[in-house]
Amino acid sequence: MAKKFIIAGGGTGGHIFPAIAIANALKVLQPDAEFLFVGAKGKMEMEKVPQAGFNIIGITIAGFDRASVLKNILLPYKLVCSFLETKKIFKNFTPDAVIGVGGYSSFPVLKFAQLKNIPSFIHESNSFAGKSNQL
């Protein structure tokens, strides 16, 4: 039976391109594997992942803006939306494992997978882990 993987994260090429490389490496090991990427709506991954030949779904999420408290007013709403969207994604695409590559869109996906006891993995390509990967 084909394994199903969700790969979550993005925001920068430092997250997106390692995510694509992971999917390509897994395809070599398991040619029949299915992949679904999850990223933030309107961010770079929404363009780059389809260009690499993979499906992606965008969720409503934003990071914490350390420079402006005012810009964080909608953050709780976006977090709730992202968890509801993630729940729907998992219902429609039941993964065997989830891989988070960093970026704020990986947080709700990894957290949901952990709550459902789905094997979860983190890839950190930065010198210091971001908040999503730390949590």
Identify the structural domains of the chain with CATH numbers, from first to last.
4-134 (3.40.50.2000)
**Tell me: the pLDDT tens digits for 31-76?**
999 999 999 998 999 999 999 999 999 999 887 777 777 777 888 8
pTM above 0.85? yes
pLDDT value at residue 10: 86
Rounded to whole angstroms, the Cα distance separating 119 from 129 reads 20
Q: What is the CA radius of gyration of the chain?
A: 14
Tokens read off for 103: 């970026």
Q: Residue 34 — φ and ψ, nearest 5°?
A: -110, 145
E-strand ranges in the chain read 4-8, 34-40, 56-59, 97-100, 120-122
Give 107's pLDDT tier (boundaries 50, 70, 90): very high
pLDDT value at residue 134: 58
* Orientation angle between helical segments 75-92 and 106-115, nearest 10 degrees: 60
**Tell me: the pLDDT tens digits for 1-20?**
899 999 999 888 888 999 99
73 or 89, greater pLDDT:
89
